[in-house]
Structure 1
Amino acid sequence: MLKKIVLGSALLVSSLFSGDINIAVAANVSYAIDDLKKEFNKLYPNTNVKVTLGSSGKLTAQIKNGAPYDLFMAANMKYPQALYKDDLAVTRPLVYAQGSLAFLSSKKIDFSKGIELLKQKDIRKIAIANPKTAPYGTASVEAMKNAKIYKQIKNKFVFAESISQTVAYSVTAADIGFIAKSSLFSDKMSKYKQGVNWYSVDTKLYTPINQGIVILKKAQNNSEVKAFYSFILSKKAKKIFEKFGYLVP
């Protein structure tokens, strides 16, 4: 009898969660978002999670212009904090993961010099996410300035609109690029080897990239959005983020 009651309660909860939710997601999370959705749908199989990927700056501009997103997973805390301040978000921004930078090249690279290698003559083009709209681009510039090489190499930059586009540029249009380390943990990136094609950027050179999440005003009474929000902050989600190279709070 107890099993029937529990099963009935589970079916009732599942039936209550049976709509679409629209989430805006920073491009660096594109590699982990499918696994996150799959795990969430094990708990809420009838909720359809629709994802729009982009740079945090552009997604924030869309939200301010009325884009119908329910939840925002940004690449840093700056943008969700701005939305919260402007009363466009109903939850105070919380850190869901912490991102880090890596170098990537399709070529075999000697990484023994660290970030100084960017000054080499055979490094003619450096891919970087647009620092005006992409937090990983901002972190990349900060790393170069702290290493005191920015002015010497800024004419080599090839700008991408998002960190995911930077990955593509790093192995096609440029000799090397600054990417989100998380992108290296997808299956399609397995051909690029650590110490040969990619290497972590010294974390002492840039401010840790705290990535923030908020529920947006449109969805303040949406129970399915609240469920997804809680899931992203859960232990199950943290394990997925760790799998994709993130640090978790």
Structure 2
Amino acid sequence: MRHLLTLFLLLIVISGCGTNEAKQTTLTVAAASSLSDAMKELSAKYEEEHPDTDITLNLASSGVLANQIKQGAPIDVFLSASEDHFTELVKDDLIEPELHTNLLSNKLVLITNEPTSVTGWDDLLSNSIGRIAIGTPETVPAGAYAKEALESMKMIDKLHDQLIFGKDVRQVLTYVETGNADAGIVYKTDYLTSNKVSLVAEAPLDTYSSITYPAGVVEDGREEAQSFFTFLQSEQAMTIFKKYGFQGKK
């Protein structure tokens, strides 16, 4: 009987150890919509290398995600397409002081669906162009950059009535793909994800602010968040980001 009791207790201990080893951690990573494809691949790669961690992606416009963090949403890591939205969180002590960096950069481009007579930015003013899609400037960084570029090129007032607004940059891309807009302004990386649109031209670099993607660990995020944040800066991660057209922040 004593031997049976000892064996029973041993089985309980072994079972308990197995449960601890199988314990999973779930990290919630909030990322700008323009990072969707890259982040899905990166998350899968990280989970493969860290089988005890599950990554839940929260993909939306940077402004929406920043507001969620301000309201206390359980987010561990934030990748923004807007320095302004990210800086607000840093100032509000909602990002860990030593755990944030400017991670990536991008470019702004004009796209259209085929067939089209648009060959350059000036053609947006022609009578053949109807609706032009951009992100909502107040919440979508790509929209804010688009508005800035159109203002710099002295076009914003002339095109005001033709603009339609997307809730994020991927919706802008969809508007152009489906013909709901004749043209749109998106990140170069978004254009590269689609075979249904044509690249007309890159926006002149002197017409809009540098597009920077800050990343950081949210205050009070899980301990494992630092590991994922470090992974995002690795050579392996940068190779995946570049695959989708992003550039490392110089």
TM-score bracket for the superposition, by shorter chain length: 0.7 to 0.9
Matched, 1:61 2:67: yes
Kept in 1: contact 2:176–2:197 (CA 8 A): no
Contact 2:137–2:147, Cα closer than 8 Å, also in 1: yes
Between the aligned partners of 1:183 and 1:79, the Cα distance in structure 2 is: 21
Determine the C-alpha separation between the residues in 2 that align with 1:233 and 1:36: 11
Answer yes or no: is the 8 Å Cα contact 1:68–1:218 preserved in 2. Answer: no
Letter of the structure 2 residue corresponding to residue 233 of structure 1: Q
Paired residue secondary structure (2:247): coil
Residue 162 (structure 1) aligns with: 168
1:108 maps to: 115
CA contact (8 A) 1:26 1:54 kept: yes
- Which structure has the greater CA radius of gyration? 2
How far apart are the structure 1 equivalents of 2:89 and 2:49? 29
Shift of 1:199: 3.5
1:202: how far off? Answer: 2.5
CA positional deviation for 1:184: 2.7
Q: Secondary structure at the match of 2:138?
A: coil
1:42 aligned residue: 48
Provide the C-alpha distance between the structure 1 equivalents of 2:48 and 2:108, rounded to a whole number of angstroms. Answer: 31
Q: Tell me the residue number matched to 2:191.
A: 184
Instruction: Please list every run of 5 or more consecutive structure 1 residues that lacks an aligned counterpart in the other structure.
Output: 1-14
Residue-pair matches, total: 227
Distance in 2 between residues matched to 1:192 and 1:118, nearest whole Å: 16
Pick aligned residue for 1:119 from 125, 135, 140? 125
SS of the aligned residue for 2:237 comes to: helix
Counterpart selection for 2:203 from 179, 201, 204: 201
Q: Distance in 2 between matches of 1:192 and 1:57?
A: 26
What is the aligned counterpart of 1:141 among 143, 147, 163?
147
8 Å CA contact 1:72, 1:214 repeated in 2:
yes
Q: Give the counterpart letter for 1:96 in structure 2.
A: L
In structure 2, list runs of 5 or more residues that go unmatched. 1-20
Give the C-alpha shift of residue 91 in structure 1: 3.3
Matched to 1:202, the amino acid is: P
Q: Which residue pairs with 2:224 in the alignment?
A: 224
Structure 2 residue aligned with 1:211: 213
Q: Secondary structure at the match of 1:138?
A: helix
Q: Are 1:128 and 1:140, in contact at CA under 8 Å, matched by a contact in 2?
A: yes
For residue 110 of structure 1, report the CA deviation from its aligned partner: 4.4
- Give the distance between the partners of 2:202 and 2:246, measured in 1 at CA: 12
TM-score by length of 1: 0.85
Structure 1 residue 86 corresponds to structure 2 residue 92: yes
Name 2:16's counterpart in structure 1.
Answer: none
SS at match of 2:248: coil
SS at match of 2:241: helix
Report if aligned partners of 1:137, 1:163 keep a CA contact under 8 Å in 2.
yes
Deviations 1:191-242 (A, max 9, x none): 4454xxx5422223211111111211121xx332111101111111111111
Given residue 244 of structure 2, which amino acid in structure 1 is its aligned partner?
F
Q: Distance in 1 between matches of 2:27 and 2:86?
A: 18
Amino acid at match of 2:186: I
Specify the alignment match of 2:14 in structure 1.
none
Verify the 8 A CA contact 1:74 1:213 in the aligned structure 2. Answer: yes
More strand by share: 2
More deviation, 120-129/44-53: 44-53
RMSD of Structure 2 on Structure 1 (CA):
1.8
Instruction: Give the TM-score, by structure 2 length.
Output: 0.84
Aligned letter for 2:24? S
> CA deviation digits over 1:21-52, x for unaligned, max 9?
01111111112111111222232133110011
CA pair 46-66 structure 1, distance change in 2 beyond 3 A? same
In the alignment, is the contact (CA less than 8 A) between 2:121 and 2:201 conserved in 1? no
The 8 Å contact of residues 31 and 183 in structure 1, kept in 2 or not, is answered as no
